[in-house]
Structure 1
Amino acid sequence: MTQDQLIIMGILVATIAMFLWGKWRHDMVAVGSLLACVLAGLVAPGNAFSGFGHPAVVTVACVLVLSRGLQLSGAVDVLTRNVLPANAGPTVSIAALAALAAVLSGFMNNVGALALLMPVAIQVAGRLGLAPGRVLMPLAFGSILGGTTTLIGTPPNLIISGFRENQAGMSGYAMFDFAYVGVPLTVVGVAFIALAGWRLVPNRKHADTGGFETGAYITEVRIPEGSSTAGKRLREIEAVLEEGDAQVVDLVRNGVHMIAPRPSRVLRAGDILMLEADVEALSDVLSRLDLKLEEDKRVSAGEKSADAAVPEDAGSGGSEPALEGELPDDGLPDAAGLSERSRRSEQSEQSEGPEGPEGAERSKSASLPKISILSELPEKARGIALDAMSGPVMPVRGSAAKAGEKPVRKHEKTAAGGEAVLMEMAVLPASEIASRSASDLLLRTRFSINLLAVSRQGRYSMARLRSLRIQPGDVLLLQGAPENLAEFANHSGCVPLAQRDLRIPDKRKAAMATGIMLVSVGVAALGLLPAAVSFAAGVLASMALRTVPLRSAYESVDWPVVVLLASLLPVAGAMQSTEAADLVARFLLDAVAQGNAMVGLAVIMVTTMVLTDLMNNAATAAVMAPIGLGAAVQLEANPDTFLMAVAISASCAFLTPIGHQNNTLILGPGGFRFGDYWRMGLPTDLIVLAVSLPLLVWFWPL
């Protein structure tokens, strides 16, 4: 073994170890691996960032943009409305969902396809009386299988195609070369999933509520006259609240409720605070803040989620409390003397800031119940694990802005009246809030919403939410006005799990988005232009025709995946140029295959499937591509057979929630735990091997 081979093998082992450790993001690890190769002299400095211009990387980015166009235009909703059966049983419904996900994933980003169909799947599960996981896992697996059918269906296919072109000295694969194996595999896989696979999924109701008995209280406390808290801004007492693992979820002033009061809100004597607090720490919090217990009501695990229901912004200007009742046509409360008082309050507010102490005094009080919302909830809607069929479970009337009020800010409701709801959102793998805490996100200040609980691997947590680091696959239980929640979802990269009404599509834009995608695919499939050029032209057309706004185009690109791919491609080239890949291939073949090409092909597939379940599928494809090619050279076999085997098996990660982004996305919403995936995943892996091996040898003879 040469010095270069030792170095590249050490870098490879360290890279895989860090992927498995998971302490750092995959794109960071990939960049570190690339820089290590450059410093070791294995990759020329001038070629270090050549991967960013690689056709595979460009194609991945362009497909993500075109996928966003299909989503924004409502084209996918049209297909969903026409394909999914309305009143079918479990087998037909799951088959239709998995098949639709497979078809969509062949031509658009499969995480995007899954995100679009997840709310529908949860709705179907509710209609059928199934645990959500029994529909979500088939949906995710169907999407993964569908990605194996086309060149653009999944990043591993593009990586293998690019590797064939750059390292094997041949042209890249055509658009539908993968369909020879991918389509039969998808058909058989979806059939298994629909007929038997979903029955193997644990019948665990969404987010095991048994793990939610944390002793939390919703307690009403009053700020008495002379209290040291009176006159302070909310942010000034948050340090004490945080020490006691408490948060203010509602502020009541003159009978008016303000959900998620902003940190700049000035507290006044007579205000009532609704605290979410642990019983053991409650007395210390009350003593330190000089608060008086107004009402202490134990709230059960189910009831706690549905408490205070009107956001500070609901129906108000956001900085002021809402009013309930009829309003004159001008949107102002019909109260004698209110206008004059508002003018005086506004003058005072100019010296206090927009959240000054007089802010909430410019309204008549509303007669809203304090905690009686709980008694009005149907049993089905109770519990932190919200049934998605119920949609937003707690509408409570808000109301209006006040006279003399300043213009509302971006995240504030207008004086039209509104409602506050509870909503669960799943955190996407590429979400920008991943690895950040609630305090980092400034949820109240920026969006006027409360974070009430987090579900992770089937268990809910309400403790230390402000400091808890959010992870991909978590489900967040949020409380606030619907428009504020929607804006947070769009901004943060989260998927609402409540029932999703299919949007009314813009028929013109839907037709244009679909046409652009079809033309791009057709041009690439016919070989008129390389795939990267064809899809880049499609992106340009989408932006010119405004099916994808310019800002959305850049936001739709999964930049960590782009960086990962661009960084690992030169590393894979270094493995090939140093012949380290041949050494690994020789070891695998000598130890197991013993010169038998068919056994060697199976060894490569199994090795790739094991790796892809433990680290990113694109990274697995980049690592295994040179090894697969080396195995073909050692056995004097057809390199296409082995490269296709790597592409198929790198895409099929079914055993763990970390192998594929789709598996991560359903982790929280399905109430899954790490060890749940193998129950349906292992039989699916065996089907992949049983179907793929003979088809690979048939279409690409050894």
Structure 2
Amino acid sequence: MSFEQIALFVLIGGVLVALLWGRFRYDLIAFAALIIGVTIGIVPADTAFSGFGHDATIIIALVLVVTAGLLRSGAIDIVARIAVDRTRSLTAHIAILGGVGAALSGFINNVAALALLMPIDMQAAQKAARPPSVTLMPLAFATILGGMLTMIGTPPNIIIAAYRQQVTGEGFAMFDFTPVGAACALAGLAFIAFGGWRLIPQHKENQAKPDDESSALYTAELVVNEKSRAIGQVLRDLDPEADEHDCTIVGLVRRNKRLAGRARREKVKKGDLIVIHGSPDALNALAGALGLSLQGKSGEQAELTPELAIVEAIVASDSRIVGRTANEIQMMRGFGVSLLGISRSGKAIKERVRRTPLQTGDVLLLLGNEDTIENAITSMGCLPMAGSIPVVRHEKAWAAIGLFGAAVAAGAFGITPLTVALGAVAVLYVLFGILPVRDIYTSIEWPVVVLLGSLLPVGMALETSGGTAILAGGLAQVAQHLPPWMALMAVLVVTMTLSDALNNAATAVIAAPVAYGLAQLLEVNPDAFLMAVAIGASCAFLTPIGHNNNALIMGPGGYRFSDYWRIGLPLELIIVAIGVPAIMIFWPL
């Protein structure tokens, strides 16, 4: 071996050890490895930062942006109302959502399938007050497994079909991968749903908190607009919907007067205000479900724009607004700020929200322009709480869904690369007011981008230096002395191992010629060995860098580098145990 090859093996080995150790941030380790590689001359300087422009890195960033747009538009609420049932057990939730993800991945890019379902899963986790890490990794693995079902489900299958066309004159058909892929996917899904998720470590810093701990409960008045499906319904009949979204309906306002009691038997009319008690997220979700609107400065329906933000602020003891009502505070109007709700010791307020004298310790839910709302809070003598709450624009939901669906279709049918399609969606989300420009940057998990952008050039250097060819050649030398079924298993295991450290498409390109040549040497059916490469290249579950979907969930799930192998290792063993017999049945040696 040359110095370059030895140095690359040592560098990659050191990176894996450091990442598994977990003492330092994974993005720092990856970037340091890239700089070391360039410094000692084993990574070409002119390609050092090519990983940041690689399709895999760009797709990860754009998918996170599109996901933020789907959340901000309320599109996820629509899908979640259909797909999420809080009465389901965790096993049923993982099995159903994972099954949907696997089925989608057979026909659309599996990154796109995960992008569609990931926010739904995170919303379900929030409602159930459980860490998102419990279900995000099973969902990501399910979408990876589903990619094996068809030729277009994952890049390795396309590469293997093209290679067979090259060497035999006839490629694999669309569903030639289905029998073996379905067997592996079903076995993998069963393991994940019926106990595999229990192997995922739960880190205390990533524990989800119930809504009543993470945010105050507010009494708010939401406007019944002309499109609301609450119109004509008796108020008490809306209780089941409110309960589903963790809210309580506590009254009705008509013609600027709050009706007596809770107005349980009144029919809702256009222009009414429904008084609701719940957390900001719950209020947003219920507003989307019933077609209700936020109040503006004048008490009418607010005109939502991307520049608006919802902020929580505490009334301090020396605040100039103590004892005054929102209607009396002229500075709110001067700054273009409106009061959406009041939280007072978690109890529902029985008066009109805007006519309620404010007290020390009240938490206000304010709507206003992001550039001026902080000045308004300071002028009122209040204390702003950290962060802001997204303004969900439910009227943009179907536009967001349509644009995302068009992008997925364009990528799936080869009309345009998925990177271009997702980039166009991000731009259109901004132009159509679905996503503020500021959220383009804040929605991206930059440490994951640095991780991928740094390690991809190192992996490419290993390939161009001949290091991967050395690994493949060693496999051929060992496997040619084994019985055919053991040689088949060796090809599957080695391909799977390479895919955990390299890009799955690159792994398929490298392993396909080796597997085909080995089959000819053993005088057995080469199709079986090519299928082993297809399965092995797709099944990368040990590291976050083995597959784009693994990297995509790392930030939102709060995972560490060493978390993946705990469920990934037994899953890969199951794939080997199921995959080898399945290949021998459907593609006899």
User: Which bin holds the TM-score, normalised by the shorter protein?
Assistant: 0.5 to 0.7
> Quick check: 1:143 aligned with 2:30?
no
> Quick check: 1:542 aligned with 2:507?
no
Aligned to 2:515: 632
Given that 1:107 and 1:150 are in contact with CA atoms closer than 8 Å, whether structure 2 keeps it comes out as no
Which amino acid in 2 is paired with 1:573? M
Distance 1:88 1:323, change over 3 A: same
**Per the alignment, in what secondary structure is the counterpart of residue 539 of structure 2?**
helix
Aligned to 1:197: 195
Given that 2:73 and 2:394 are in contact with CA atoms closer than 8 Å, whether structure 1 keeps it comes out as yes
Q: Distance in 2 between matches of 1:698 and 1:87?
A: 40
> Quick check: 1:117 aligned with 2:121?
yes
Deviations 1:466-502 (A, max 9, x none): xxxxxxxxxxxxxxx5xx4545xx7xxxxxxxxxxxx
Distance 1:415 1:27, change over 3 A: closer
Q: Distance in 2 between matches of 1:37 and 1:164?
A: 35
> Quick check: 1:519 aligned with 2:406?
yes
Q: Which has the higher helix share?
A: 2
Given that 2:71 and 2:119 are in contact with CA atoms closer than 8 Å, whether structure 1 keeps it comes out as no
Given that 1:38 and 1:44 are in contact with CA atoms closer than 8 Å, whether structure 2 keeps it comes out as yes
Q: Distance in 1 between matches of 2:558 and 2:587?
A: 37
> Quick check: 1:7 aligned with 2:7?
yes
Deviations 1:512-553 (A, max 9, x none): 222222222222222233333333334343333333333322
Q: Distance in 2 between matches of 1:97 and 1:175?
A: 25
Q: Distance in 2 between matches of 1:541 and 1:328?
A: 37
* TM-score normalised by the chain length of structure 1: 0.47
Distance 1:177 1:666, change over 3 A: farther
Given that 2:49 and 2:454 are in contact with CA atoms closer than 8 Å, whether structure 1 keeps it comes out as yes
Given that 2:495 and 2:511 are in contact with CA atoms closer than 8 Å, whether structure 1 keeps it comes out as no
Q: Distance in 1 between matches of 2:123 and 2:200?
A: 20
Distance 1:653 1:600, change over 3 A: farther
Q: Distance in 1 between matches of 2:313 and 2:328?
A: 18
Distance 1:568 1:319, change over 3 A: farther
**Per the alignment, in what secondary structure is the counterpart of residue 540 of structure 2?**
helix
Tell me how far 1:601 sits from its aligned partner: 5.2
Q: Distance in 2 between matches of 1:34 and 1:558?
A: 19
Deviations 1:259-304 (A, max 9, x none): xxxxxxxxxxxxxxxxxxxxxxxxxxxxxxxxxxxxxxxxxxxxxx
**Per the alignment, in what secondary structure is the counterpart of residue 149 of structure 1?**
helix
Aligned to 1:68: 68
Aligned to 1:278: none
Instruction: Note the 1:612-631 alignment, pairs <5 A.
Output: 621=504, 628=511, 631=514
Given that 1:180 and 1:699 are in contact with CA atoms closer than 8 Å, whether structure 2 keeps it comes out as yes
Distance 1:560 1:207, change over 3 A: closer
Which amino acid in 1 is paired with 2:125? A
Tell me how far 1:80 sits from its aligned partner: 0.8
Given that 1:150 and 1:176 are in contact with CA atoms closer than 8 Å, whether structure 2 keeps it comes out as no
Aligned to 1:564: 451
Deviations 1:207-253 (A, max 9, x none): 999xxxxxxxxxxxxxxxxxxxxxxxxxxxxxxxxxxxxxxxxxxxx
Instruction: Note the 1:383-462 alignment, pairs <5 A.
Output: 397-398=362-363, 409=374, 412=377
**Per the alignment, in what secondary structure is the counterpart of residue 328 of structure 2?**
coil
Q: Distance in 2 between matches of 1:192 and 1:330?
A: 61
| RMSD of aligned residue pairs (Cα, Å) | 5.7
Aligned to 1:648: 538
Aligned to 2:441: 554
Which amino acid in 2 is paired with 1:409? E
Given that 2:86 and 2:124 are in contact with CA atoms closer than 8 Å, whether structure 1 keeps it comes out as no
Deviations 1:111-154 (A, max 9, x none): 88545523523544x7xxxxx47x96355313321144359xxx
Q: Distance in 1 between matches of 2:322 and 2:15?
A: 59
Which amino acid in 2 is paired with 1:67? T
Aligned to 1:252: none
Q: Distance in 2 between matches of 1:183 and 1:322?
A: 67
**Per the alignment, in what secondary structure is the counterpart of residue 650 of structure 1?**
coil
Q: Distance in 2 between matches of 1:92 and 1:19?
A: 33
Name which of 566, 569, 581 aligns with 2:468.
Answer: 581
Given that 1:517 and 1:538 are in contact with CA atoms closer than 8 Å, whether structure 2 keeps it comes out as yes
Given that 2:69 and 2:434 are in contact with CA atoms closer than 8 Å, whether structure 1 keeps it comes out as yes
Aligned to 1:330: 328
Distance 1:554 1:594, change over 3 A: farther
Distance 1:697 1:330, change over 3 A: farther
Given that 2:136 and 2:557 are in contact with CA atoms closer than 8 Å, whether structure 1 keeps it comes out as no
Given that 1:73 and 1:506 are in contact with CA atoms closer than 8 Å, whether structure 2 keeps it comes out as yes
**Per the alignment, in what secondary structure is the counterpart of residue 463 of structure 2?**
helix
Aligned to 1:506: 394
Given that 2:448 and 2:555 are in contact with CA atoms closer than 8 Å, whether structure 1 keeps it comes out as no
Aligned to 1:254: none
Aligned to 1:528: 415
For these two proteins, the number of residue pairs brought into alignment is 434
Given that 1:572 and 1:623 are in contact with CA atoms closer than 8 Å, whether structure 2 keeps it comes out as no
Q: Distance in 1 between matches of 2:467 and 2:394?
A: 54
Q: Distance in 2 between matches of 1:40 and 1:676?
A: 31
Given that 2:516 and 2:530 are in contact with CA atoms closer than 8 Å, whether structure 1 keeps it comes out as no
Given that 2:71 and 2:392 are in contact with CA atoms closer than 8 Å, whether structure 1 keeps it comes out as no
Q: Distance in 2 between matches of 1:538 and 1:321?
A: 45
Percentage identity across aligned positions? Answer: 26
Tell me how far 1:82 sits from its aligned partner: 1.3
Which amino acid in 2 is paired with 1:118? M
Given that 1:62 and 1:539 are in contact with CA atoms closer than 8 Å, whether structure 2 keeps it comes out as yes
Which amino acid in 2 is paired with 1:648? S
Deviations 1:535-590 (A, max 9, x none): 33343433333333333223333333334334433333332233221222344555
Given that 2:541 and 2:568 are in contact with CA atoms closer than 8 Å, whether structure 1 keeps it comes out as no
Which amino acid in 2 is paired with 1:143? A
Q: Distance in 2 between matches of 1:577 and 1:203?
A: 37
* TM-score normalised by the chain length of structure 2: 0.55
Which amino acid in 2 is paired with 1:75? A
Given that 1:43 and 1:571 are in contact with CA atoms closer than 8 Å, whether structure 2 keeps it comes out as yes
Q: Distance in 1 between matches of 2:206 and 2:440?
A: 38
Q: Distance in 1 between matches of 2:204 and 2:15?
A: 36
Given that 2:59 and 2:418 are in contact with CA atoms closer than 8 Å, whether structure 1 keeps it comes out as yes
In structure 2, list runs of 5 or more residues that go unmatched.
Answer: 208-311, 331-343, 348-359, 367-371, 520-525, 545-549
Which amino acid in 1 is paired with 2:515? A
Q: Distance in 2 between matches of 1:206 and 1:608?
A: 35
Distance 1:9 1:139, change over 3 A: closer
Distance 1:28 1:693, change over 3 A: farther
Q: Distance in 2 between matches of 1:116 and 1:80?
A: 6
Decide which moves more: 106-115 or 529-538: 106-115
Q: Distance in 2 between matches of 1:582 and 1:535?
A: 34
**Per the alignment, in what secondary structure is the counterpart of residue 528 of structure 1?**
coil
Given that 1:111 and 1:662 are in contact with CA atoms closer than 8 Å, whether structure 2 keeps it comes out as no
Distance 1:176 1:584, change over 3 A: same
Q: Distance in 2 between matches of 1:7 and 1:202?
A: 33
Instruction: Note the 1:136-535 alignment, pairs <5 A.
Output: 137-138=134-135, 140-150=137-147, 185-194=184-193, 196-197=194-195, 314-316=313-315, 320=318, 327=325, 329-331=327-329, 397-398=362-363, 409=374, 412=377, 484=386, 486=388, 506-507=394-395, 509-535=396-422
Q: Distance in 1 between matches of 2:157 and 2:505?
A: 8
> Quick check: 1:57 aligned with 2:57?
yes
Which amino acid in 1 is paired with 2:409? G
Q: Distance in 2 between matches of 1:113 and 1:160?
A: 23
Aligned to 2:251: none
